[in-house]
Amino acid sequence: MNALGNYSLYIAFGLSVWGIASAYLSYRNRDERYLRSALHAIYGICGLVLLAIILLWAALLRNDFTLKYVWEYSRTTQPAIYKITALWGGMDGSLLFWCGLLAIFSALAITFNRKNNMRHLPFTSMVLLMTLGFFLFLLSFKTNPFAPLRDSAGILVSTYTPQMMRAVQGNGLNPLLQNFYMAIHPPMLYTGLVGFAIPFAFILGALAHRERNTFWMRSARNWAVFAWMTLGVGILLGGYWAYIELGWGGYWAWDPVENASFLPWVMGTAFLHTFLMQEKRGIYRFWNVFFIVMAFLLSIYGTYLTRSGILQSVHAFGQEDPSIPWYFQLGNIFLLFMAIMAILSFGLILRRRALLKSGQELESAGSRESMFLYGSLLLGLIGFVVLFGLTSPIFYRIVTHHELDRGPEYYNPRILPIALMVLLVMGIASVSPWKKGGWASYRKQLAIPFLAGLSALAASLFAFFRGGQASLTDFHSRPLTYIYLFACVSFSFFVAAIILEEYFRTARQAHRMGRAGKLSCLLSPFRENPRRYGGYIVHLGIVCVFLGVAFSATFQREYQETMKPGDAVRFGPYVVRMADLQHDDLNADLQKVNDVRIWADLQVFRGNKLVALLRPMRVFYSANPQQPTYEVAIHSTLLRDFYTLLAGFDLNTNSATIGAFVNPMVAWLWLGGVLLLVGGLIALIPMRNW
Amino acid sequence: MAGTLLSLVVAVAAFGWVLAPLFGEPKEISQARSTDQIQEAVNRSVRELKTDLELQKIQASDLEEIQSFLESESKR
């Protein structure tokens, strides 16, 4: 069956080549026969890539080590769930998964738009087929997950006798990826990254077919919301995985691959806001197209950075063999594709520039329209800063042959002030009036939120400086950090108050106008304007993320102590007593078990009260026993996380080194993620029938 | 061998299905715009703006102006 999987990729690639030609002919000749043929090609590719995915999963589950990919990323003793997730654990499989998602989304998008947007489909389907064709080319000729395994003597493992075969054990999935969140984080992330291809193709399609307005293209907007939401949740899930798996107490390190997923999300956020303005006022047509093109190109750029080996990152898929000729190196093929898509997109923007002129002029710098533009441009600026930070080390290395490390010291001072401005604009835009609305109209609507922000600032200043001399010394040691923190607290309360005030005003109004009862009016904002109020829930989620990041980054405290069973040690506000240090059978044959664990049983007290029993572990996976992974144990509340890990152990002396972090308000980040998902779903799914 | 033969069958079936529409009668792609979708988008925008009118975020004259602009744009 592996041959069928292998050939299905070649056949799908052939279909994509024909599909591109056929879509182009239908665009030139307006002949429906060619369009139908191109659409059939998309459906055919979808079926064939799904077949390949199913066959690869089957090979992983039945330990078919005649395939190189299965040998590299699976192992007989690996739990079934991680055999399934091994599909996206390596480069070849993850590209197949990427391609599968794109094929499914493309097939769904053209099915939903066949009736209503038929005249745009020739160019739209050509763009989708070009993207599919690119990934299928890689899968067929460069990163084929059905490539056979050869042993060190160059003999095909498939020619081994059954007896020889029994001795073949897989390499196994990277232990860091053997985590439940790795089962859901990559699919969410890929769904988001791939999802941007659909609105990109539809908007380019509309532009190519000289459509002046795209505001009625519900499909493009819905796909963009879907992609944006899943990418946002995927990024936060990635942060959660890093938090619980890497044992460093943090969740975001401005790692190049993290940034690469953040970039399309930022551009997608800007797009969703300019799209709303185009829908209502016919303005920002250029920005609309620009942001969706950037979201798509940057999602491909992110895929390139992760897979080309050009970057060192915990998330990267490794280096490419330097003996491969330059024109066949994966990174260069990616660059070529990105160049083609960039030329196609910006060339089209240039040719159709007359269509992209705004239908109306801005009438006031304080209007809602202007606020949306400020917010989108600030997001674009964040994107530019991150893109520069991400890309400049690559050019620096090429020119100087030296490494340039861009970490938090580059990003934080540049991103934080802009992000705070985005937060402020996000709040003000919610109450801003349309068209001529001047500053005077803000006075009434912002009074309560302004008081809320001011009170929050006063309360946080009081709480901080109550600490006396120690707080002052701390403030003087890093004044900017504290200024950002106080600004963040103040702005967050200001924005939250605006959103809540808006929500209750709308609900009250619905009741007053007789559209809803006393209690049911609480649902009416979501019924009457789900996109706006879904968006406000997302904004509340963003406020939570801001607060979580600000407090955890400013007040994180780290502790470490070596203990023996029975010892009790104070870690900040907690007292930890080590009850026991235990382990699995350390002499177990790692060929027969997936992992061996060592753990400490900790009792955590606050005051005299036992608040948690924690069990931090080190796990030695058979896939890589030299590098045991951390399984941290966390006592999480809304106010703080008490984060413990087994930093070291000595079984001869029966002692363990316990590392601990007290991380204030980290849970708010994950709460923000939940709100982002809920708000996104409300904006996506009409509630009129509820 | 069975896998290769099966692949051949799949290839013939896939290309046959993809090329089949070419043997039909020539027909021009419909250039009609989706009036339902356009009207729905205009209605949705106007409905949302009317809520803003109740909340005093837009003046009545501005709403009328935007509504007539959206109506005219939807016909272009």
Would you kindly state where each structural domain of chain B is located, as residue ranges?
34-76
Give me the sign of the Cα torsion angle A473, A574, A614, A642.
negative
pLDDT at A686: 65
Indicate yes or no: CB of A281 within 8 angstroms of CB of B31: no
Residue A662 gets the label, from left (phi > 0), alpha (psi -120 to 50) or beta, of beta
pLDDT in tens, A402-448: 888 888 899 999 999 999 999 999 999 998 998 876 667 788 889 99
Instruction: Supply the pTM of this predicted model.
Output: 0.93
Q: Which residues of B touch A434 (CB under 8 A)?
A: 49, 52, 57-58, 62-63, 66
| Token pair of A560 as six digits | 């470490």
Distance from CA of A217 to the nearest CA of B (A): 8
| Token pair of B11 as six digits | 């290839």
Residue of B nearest to A221 (CA): B41
> What is the C-alpha to C-alpha distance for residues B61 and B73, in angstroms, rounded to an integer?
18
Q: Which residues of B touch A3 (CB under 8 A)?
A: 3-4, 6-7
pLDDT at A322 exceeding the cut of 80? no
Q: Which of A95-109, A167-181, A385-399 has the lowest mean pLDDT?
A: A167-181
Q: Which of A51-55, A119-123, A278-282 has the lowest mean pLDDT?
A: A278-282
Distance from CA of B61 to the nearest CA of A (A): 11
| Token pair of A69 as six digits | 């990919």
Span A162-174, average pLDDT: 82
User: In this structure, which amino acid lies at residue A361?
Assistant: E
Residue of B nearest to A430 (CA): B57
pLDDT in tens, A99-145: 999 999 999 999 988 887 888 899 999 999 999 999 999 999 999 99
Indicate yes or no: CB of B66 within 8 angstroms of CB of A216: no
Residue of A nearest to B4 (CA): A3
Q: Which residues of A touch B50 (CB under 8 A)?
A: none
Q: Which of A114-118, A177-181, A455-459, A488-492 has the lowest mean pLDDT?
A: A114-118
> What is the C-alpha to C-alpha distance for residues A288 and A124, in angstroms, rounded to an integer?
17
| Residues paired with A576 in a beta bridge | A569, A604
Indicate yes or no: CB of A434 within 8 angstroms of CB of B62: yes
| Token pair of A252 as six digits | 């975001």
3-state secondary structure of A610: strand
DSSP per-residue codes, B15-48: HHHHHGGGGS---BPP----HHHHHHHHHHHHHH
> What is the C-alpha to C-alpha distance for residues A5 and B13, in angstroms, rounded to an integer?
16
Indicate yes or no: CB of A11 within 8 angstroms of CB of B14: yes
Indicate yes or no: CB of B57 within 8 angstroms of CB of A437: yes
Instruction: Report the candidate in A15, A85, A100, A86 with the shortest Cα–Cα distance to residue A51.
Output: A100
pLDDT at A158 exceeding the cut of 90? no
On whether ipTM exceeds 0.90, the answer is yes
Indicate yes or no: CB of B69 within 8 angstroms of CB of A281: yes
pLDDT-above-70 percentage for chain B = 99
| Token pair of A325 as six digits | 């000729």
